[in-house]
Amino acid sequence: MRLLFHRWYKLFAVALLCFVFNAQAAEVSVAVAANFTAAMQKIAPLFEQETGHKLSVAYGSTGRFYAQIKNGAPFQVLLAADDETPAKLEKEGLGVASSRMTYAVGRLVLWSKQPGLVDKQGEVLKTAKFEKLALADPKLAPYGLAAMETLTQLGLLDQLKPKLVQGENIAQAYQFVSTQNAQLGFVALSQINPQEGSAWVVPSHLHSPIRQDAIVLAKGKDAPAATALLQFLRSEKARAIIRSHGYEI
């Protein structure tokens, strides 16, 4: 009888723990900047495994996410490609005050699918070796704005304007180059394989810092899973993944 009681008690304890775990677990809706796609795809399963929470992730341009959030989109967390958009959302009451944090600092790179086309100083921009130069829409994507700032600093913007091809976000700009619809383009360092094609990592003094901030949005104010995600992004496991994808911390 005592043995049966102990077995029953253990089963009850396990069931109770599962119930508590499931009661605490929740799903969080996250809007993630397109340049952070690869890193987030590795971070997400680790976060779910360690916390029990589930992620519902959408990838796209920060500018478009801002417009959607303003129009009532049900996102609870934003991982932006800049620091201005989260600050603006906080000021407008659409982000939770003091939840904002910098989770990564991005690097801009001039990349081509063709080996040898892009030199290590970016001098190819001054040549006639290409017909199209891809970049993300500077009005929507911080990496696109950084690309425009770079061309301005180099004194090449007016000369290259006829060759510019804009994608809605950095993922589309990358697609233009990877499919060779554009011979080269400005993309995120995190997107490229260093062993493929040719690239020039743009010196950071040629553009404004690409500080990427995350913020808990108003719709995630009372969601423990939203806060847990930002805490997880500060963990060494998440930071190791972020660094491995070409970002600075």
Q: Can you give the pLDDT of all 249 residues of the chain as single tens digits?
A: 554 444 444 444 433 334 334 436 789 999 999 999 999 999 999 999 999 999 999 999 899 999 999 999 999 999 999 999 999 999 999 999 999 999 999 999 999 999 999 999 999 999 989 999 999 999 988 899 999 999 999 999 999 999 999 998 899 999 999 999 999 999 999 999 888 999 999 999 999 999 999 999 999 999 999 999 999 999 999 999 999 999 998
105 beta partners: 211, 248
- In the chain, what are the domain boundaries? 2-105+211-244, 108-201
Top-level CATH class of 108-201?
alpha beta
DSSP 180-216: TSSSEEEEEGGGS-TTSSEEEEPPGGGS--EEEEEEE
Residue in 45, 54, 86 with CA at minimum distance from that of residue 69: 86
* Greatest pairwise CA separation for the chain in angstroms: 89
167 beta partners: 136
The Cα–Cα gap between 31 and 223 comes to 15
27-33, strands of its sheet edge to edge? 54-60, 27-33, 77-79, 210-216, 101-106
The Cα–Cα gap between 67 and 171 comes to 19
The third-level CATH classification (topology) of the domain covering 2-105+211-244 is D-Maltodextrin-Binding Protein; domain 2 (3.40.190)
The Cα–Cα gap between 40 and 212 comes to 13
Radius of gyration of the chain (CA): 22
> Where do runs of H (alpha helix) occur along 25-141?
37-51, 62-70, 84-91
Say yes or no: do domains 2-105+211-244 and 108-201 share a fold: yes
